[in-house]
Amino acid sequence: MQKLIITGGHVVDPRNGIDGPADVAISAGKISEVGSVALSRAQRVIEAEGKYVLPGLVDCHVHTAGHPEAYRMLAQAGVTCALDLAGRPQTTIPEMLVHGCGLTVGFLFPLIPNETVDGTAPSDDQLRKVTRDAIGAGALGTKVLGGHYPLTPDATARAIRAAHDIGCWCAVHAGTTETGSDIEGLEELVTLAESHPLHIAHINSYCRGQVTGDPLLEASRAIRALGLVPQCRSESYLATINGTSAAMVDGIPKSNATKTCLRLGGYPGTSQGMEQAILDSWAQVNVADNGVIILASPQHGLKEFRARHTHVRVSFPVNSAAAAIGLATARKEDAFVVNALATDGGSIPRNVTLQKGFALVRFGALTMAELVSKACSVPAEMLGLDNKGHLGTGADADVCVVDPDTARADIVLAEGHVIADHRGARGGGARVLALDYAAPELERQRVPYACVAPSWLTDSD
């Protein structure tokens, strides 16, 4: 049997209580042994002396749709499994199959007023039909993009309830027709969740000081709000830039979040305001470059914004680093208040969990084991994946070898295959993570898939 051994590294695998030097043996795509392994039995040896050997990252908030570069960017960032927080089966699955780089990826279907549902207050019947259709086609559930394209508070609550009744995932970006993408939106959302399980997206992004002028005060309000909904799961990210659509309708940003970002920088919420913000580098246009997505220079960005008739994504430096650190490290009774570390990245160039996470470890704000727990094992558990997020015997051989000096992934393996190294990312297609409702349709389309049944979605029944 083909055997690969990663030798001499410092293995961190909190789920199995390992934090020290060890070899990791891989056979038939699984972890076969961790400890002191005789190299004579190896067909291939990866030398990892001076490096950290971690489980592959499980990023439970990414975006890939329309930007297949995302998979390559994720693989290069050490991610082997991800949850896309706005994907449609007709486009996401084909892209995943061609560009997926060997990752395992679930996706959530977006509930967007006048696009995928009728108006801001779709009927219960429609919410349930759209949700069932989405999970039957391969989605793990639905996503409400409240901060960008809000539903009414009542419709938001009904979308959450519908997902729970059907037994699927629901993620919400806080904000409704009554509130914004801010701390008040989050405080409203925890009441709308009632007793239902809910994935509350990117907690740090509600703590930009938009309501009180004080990001840290808003972070402490967020921590209090999350304490009210122990049945929910949440994540935050560490990048200071966001990512939002620059698309204009009649010269006004279509997304509410985009309007707010322009206002925060002192620009009018108009097409002209956006152009000036791009020229001043307050808004940085995301452009493809050599198979990945980067932040364009002002002149190049403005050219793209005009050439694509405003249909580009922009990043604004609106996130508070202080709030991001506070939320990533906030603890209550030996547990983290915010469950997972994610990136809200993928195609948005901010897949920085390793770099910023290692910085927090060096700072003493997290231990390496805590970082691995928040970036690997906890999100794997959220997704109902017992075989990922750790390096126990029999687990999928998803491994990330990290250079502590650069805090970057040197080599990334997914199920025993190298999907990224110094030469870049590779690895063919992805596998879809779906609920068993989707099995007949995915079989019919011959889409590689794995079924999951995340227990926290049904535990609160």
**Residue (347 or 373) nearer to Zn ion, CB:** 347
The answer to whether residue 344 forms part of the interface with Zn ion (CB under 5 A) is yes
**Residue (85 or 174) nearer to Zn ion, CB:** 85
Give the contacts of 309 (CB within 8 A, at least 6 positions apart): none
Piece in contact with Zn ion (CB under 5 A), picked from 246-254, 296-304, 344-352, 428-436: 344-352
- Give the up-direction half-sphere exposure of residue 94: CA atoms within 13 A in the CB hemisphere: 4
**Residue (85 or 376) nearer to Zn ion, CB:** 85
Task: Give phi and psi for 87, each to the nearest 5.
Answer: -135, 145
Piece in contact with Zn ion (CB under 5 A), picked from 18-26, 83-91, 139-147, 374-382: 83-91
Q: How far is the CB of 39 from Zn ion (least distance, A)?
A: 43
Residue 92 near residue 84, CB atoms below 8 Å:
yes
Would you tell me how many other CB atoms lie within 10 Å of the CB of residue 139? 29
Give the contacts of 129 (CB within 8 A, at least 6 positions apart): none
**Partners of 301 in the beta sheet?**
none
Q: How far is the CB of 317 from Zn ion (least distance, A)?
A: 17
E strand or H helix at 158: helix 153-166
Q: Which long-range contacts (CB under 8 A, 24 or more apart) does 442-448 make?
A: 442/138, 445/93, 447/93, 447/97, 447/138, 448/97
Interface mask (CB under 5 A) for Zn ion, residues 299-338, using x and -? Answer: ----------------------------------------
Q: How far is the CB of 437 from Zn ion (least distance, A)?
A: 24
Residue 183 near residue 212, CB atoms below 8 Å:
yes
Nearest CA to 66 among 312, 247, 430, 241? 312
- The residue at minimum Cβ distance from Zn ion is 344
With residues binned 3-state (H G I as helix, E B as strand, rest as coil), the percentages for the chain, rounded to 5, are 35, 30, 40
Piece in contact with Zn ion (CB under 5 A), picked from 39-47, 82-90, 357-365, 411-419: 82-90
Q: How far is the CB of 380 from Zn ion (least distance, A)?
A: 19
**Residue (64 or 271) nearer to Zn ion, CB:** 64
| Tokens matching residue 75 | 């693989």
Piece in contact with Zn ion (CB under 5 A), picked from 40-48, 79-87, 138-146, 439-447: 79-87
d(CA 279, CA 338): 36
**Residue (13 or 344) nearer to Zn ion, CB:** 344
**Partners of 3 in the beta sheet?**
27
**Residue (66 or 298) nearer to Zn ion, CB:** 66
**Residue (256 or 271) nearer to Zn ion, CB:** 256
Q: How far is the CB of 63 from Zn ion (least distance, A)?
A: 6
Task: Give phi and psi for 419, each to the nearest 5.
Answer: -105, -15
The answer to whether residue 85 forms part of the interface with Zn ion (CB under 5 A) is yes
The answer to whether residue 174 forms part of the interface with Zn ion (CB under 5 A) is no
Left, alpha or beta for 397 (phi > 0: left; psi -120 to 50: alpha)?
Answer: beta
Q: How far is the CB of 426 from Zn ion (least distance, A)?
A: 26
E strand or H helix at 410: strand 408-414
Q: How far is the CB of 344 from Zn ion (least distance, A)?
A: 4
Q: How far is the CB of 326 from Zn ion (least distance, A)?
A: 20
Q: How far is the CB of 181 from Zn ion (least distance, A)?
A: 11
**Residue (107 or 449) nearer to Zn ion, CB:** 107
Q: Total residues contacting Zn ion (rule CB under 5 A)?
A: 2
Binding region for Zn ion (CB under 5 A): 85, 344
